[in-house]
Amino acid sequence: MWSDRETVEDCLGFSSYVESLADVCLEPEIAPLTVGIFGSWGSGKTSLMQMLRAQIDARAVGAAGSGTPACVTLWFNAWRYEGREEIQSALIHAILRELTKGRTLLEDVKATFERLKKGASVLKLAKTITKSALTLSPDFEGLLDSFKDESEKIAETMEQFEQDFENLLKSVAVSRIVVFIDDLDRCSSEKVVEAFETIKLFLNTPETTFVIGADAPKIEQAIGTVYHVAEGTRPTFARDYLEKIVQLPFSIPEQRSRDVAAYVGMLVLRGYLTKEGWPILLNARRTLLLQATDMCTSLTDWIGVNTAALRPDSATAAREHLSRTLAHVDVLVRGLRGNPRQIKRFLNILELRARIAEANNLEVRLDLLTKLTALEYSWPDFFGQIVETIGPDGKSELIGEVVRLADRKAEPPDDSPMLAAALATPGLAEFVASEPILDGTADLTPYLYLAQTALDPKRRPALLPQDELARDLAERMASDDALRARAAAKNATQQEPAVLAAIARLVAAKVAVLQADKEKRARVNALQSLEAVCRVASEHYRPVIDTLRAADVQDQGFAMVAVRVLGAAVDAGFQDASALRDQYQARSPLAKAGVRATAPRRKA
């Protein structure tokens, strides 16, 4: 199992980025500077920032020799202050504490320090800044109105803050402070803007560098929300705002397929390496990526050369684990888009399910388990629909139809919005149709058993009380989605007699109330579902006949199904259905085409 916490150990090839970013962060000619490390959740922003901080700290110690480093770094987790206090005040005080930590301050420096702390408490800029963000100028009038008790101090405080801060840096012999702000995109919109407004206080101080880790779209959304920018102009406004503060944006590149294979392989091998062996593998990453063989072969060959780096007698197990996991790495690339944190979490889920399968003697194929788990993880709504529509035999008509239509050579039926949505979801159909094959014929029962701990109870009919189960199946049997209705009808026929009787009554009631003009598709599906129920238990023809007796015949499709159902009822011994069948035939031209001949007959 693998921890999904951030790390300074480079399994992702961030070292080259870190070296270059460290050069920039310490470059005196371009300071003050704000660097934006942008990437989606789980892309490795925090890990990259921690590596960058470690690199800067190492350079500072090296440059200082035995003296106090002239470069100071500070880690500030913005999310810790969500809902507790102003980020502005907390950030300023954190910077001041870091600058003076371990240093003896002279009396005049102490006075400067106290003025800065007092100024931090007075300013509170985030609540009073002007709405014209592009000017980057505080709204002094709003500031004075908001703090009337200390209004006479504010102008002086803002003018003196910059000078006092520069004086403090000189007094403590710090030539550069690099502030890392992490998890900003997890904060409320107001906190996000408050942090940026705080950074603006330091933008004229050459000794300061800020490194911000965030998901850029979320930051842009927060800026637009706080400044009440119209939806259409938000992207432009937010980008302009960010450009005024973030001078150097850096977006974490997407991991390629071979990068992901190396990452997963290294995660696997770590569990077999000694403490001394792990750095050896980390240093070998770049060489492994340049080799012409597939990653599994490259790592297997590395084991052969570096057996001493592994724990005693673990080489064979390491090779088998590598082969087992990397065989399906393409599934991780397609299904998880190569996101490092998602890959770690996914591998943990997969490992747990494999252990549960072994403990319960479940026969599962690891490649299908990997693919279905990736499907569940990346497209949870679709996976929920698979669970909802699985047949009693464990087979999925939904999967079969998605695979059949994935190449877009055939037109999808217009009676399943669920199927249409799946085919319209980018990348989904292609993933389902890719190797290993999921064609709708495999028994998915053991895989769904393993997935049940992560599913909404409503998606797991077996866990519902009988009355809720009956209502749930009846609701789906009367769906406007033919595929969903067929699957529900199949599952209904497997229920015990009391539950099946309740289902038949509920669906018959739905047929009676569904409107022929607005809900005709659901009405037809409900009647076809009742037909399936009556085939296995003919006593349920009675509520169906009674319902059809009162129903109108405006829809030809409904009439055709009604004639077929009533014909089967006659064959089952319900003679009063004969006249009703004739009435439906008489009022429906299509029903006269002999649909009764296609009705399945009940065996004696």
**Percent of the chain clearing pLDDT 90 (strictly above):** 22
| Rounded Cα–Cα distance for residues 6 and 1 (Å) | 15
Cβ burial, residue 84 (10 Å; 0-12/13-18/19+): exposed
Domain boundary among 200, 227, 251: 251
State residue 591 phi and psi, 5-degree precision: -70, -20
pLDDT of residue 532: 93
Range from 89-103, 363-377, 453-467 that averages highest in pLDDT: 363-377
354, β-bridge pairs:
none
Closest CA to 209 of 74, 51, 59, 116: 74
Whether the per-residue pLDDT at 130 is higher than 60: the answer is no
Phi-psi group of 182: left, alpha or beta (phi > 0 → left; psi -120 to 50 → alpha; rest → beta): beta
State residue 188 phi and psi, 5-degree precision: -65, 160
**Percent of the chain clearing pLDDT 70 (strictly above):** 81
Q: Say if residue 156 is in the same domain as residue 265.
A: no
What digits encode the pLDDT tens for the residues 282-338? 889 889 988 888 999 999 999 999 999 999 999 999 998 888 888 778 777 776 766
Helix ranges, 465-519 (H): 466-477, 482-492, 497-513
Residue pair 225/189 in contact by the 8 Å Cβ criterion: yes
Q: Say if residue 81 is in the same domain as residue 209.
A: yes
Q: Say if residue 76 is in the same domain as residue 126.
A: yes
Q: Does residue 3 lie in a domain region?
A: no
What digits encode the pLDDT tens for the residues 15-53? 888 999 999 998 888 888 999 999 887 788 888 999 999
Q: Say if residue 73 is in the same domain as residue 151.
A: yes
Q: Which domain holds residue 369?
A: 257-454
454 confidence band (pLDDT: 50, 70, 90) = low
Residue that has been written with the tokens 């997963």 in this structure: 264
Q: Is the pTM of this model over 0.95?
A: no
Domain boundary among 454, 474, 502: 454
| Rounded Cα–Cα distance for residues 110 and 104 (Å) | 9
Q: Say if residue 174 is in the same domain as residue 282.
A: no
Residue pair 108/168 in contact by the 8 Å Cβ criterion: no
Residues 6+ apart with CB under 8 A from 192: 184, 185, 219, 222, 223, 226
Residues 6+ apart with CB under 8 A from 599: 564, 565, 567, 568, 571
Whether the per-residue pLDDT at 137 is higher than 60: the answer is no
| Rounded Cα–Cα distance for residues 237 and 16 (Å) | 33
Domain boundary among 433, 454, 475: 454
Q: Does residue 84 lie in a domain region?
A: yes
Task: Tell whether omega for the bond before 417 is within 30 degrees of 0, i.e. cis.
Answer: no
Q: Say if residue 131 is in the same domain as residue 55.
A: yes
Q: Say if residue 39 is in the same domain as residue 113.
A: yes
| Rounded Cα–Cα distance for residues 48 and 21 (Å) | 10
277 confidence band (pLDDT: 50, 70, 90) = very high
- Count of domains in the chain? 3
Detail the DSSP E strand segments found in 390-504.
none
Residue pair 390/461 in contact by the 8 Å Cβ criterion: no
Dmax over CA atoms of the chain, in Å, equals 108
Whether the per-residue pLDDT at 366 is higher than 60: the answer is yes
| Rounded Cα–Cα distance for residues 211 and 51 (Å) | 12
Amino acid, single-letter form, for residue 23: D
